[in-house]
Amino acid sequence: MNTYNFNVLNRDETVAAIQSVILGNSRAIWPKVAELAWSVGEAGGQIRVTDQAGSVVVLVGVNSARRVSRFSIAGSGESSRAA
């Protein structure tokens, strides 16, 4: 289990934050990023995720996170594994 901090940045200002989110593995970060991207009212800006040591593990634009999450939602009925 690892602890992560999620921040939505607009220029140099934090406009939303979720602190101390405990996740079982690093793959669980992306659904949280997508959820946060859709929950902030502002388009633009960035989502920064840091680990418990303060290292940046994800830095993605809000618009990009929204766009990618649409594809993952649309393809959720399909397996991502090769046959």
Q: What is the pLDDT of residues 26-65, one digit of tens each?
A: 889 999 999 999 988 766 799 999 999 999 999 999 999 9
Inform me whether the pLDDT recorded for 82 exceeds 50.
no
**Could you tell me which residue, 74 or 22, shows the higher pLDDT?**
22
* E-only strand ranges, the chain: 2-10, 13-23, 46-51, 56-61
Which has more confidence, 49 or 76? 49
Cα 13 to chain centroid distance, Å, stands at 17
- Any bridge partners for residue 2, and if so which? 23
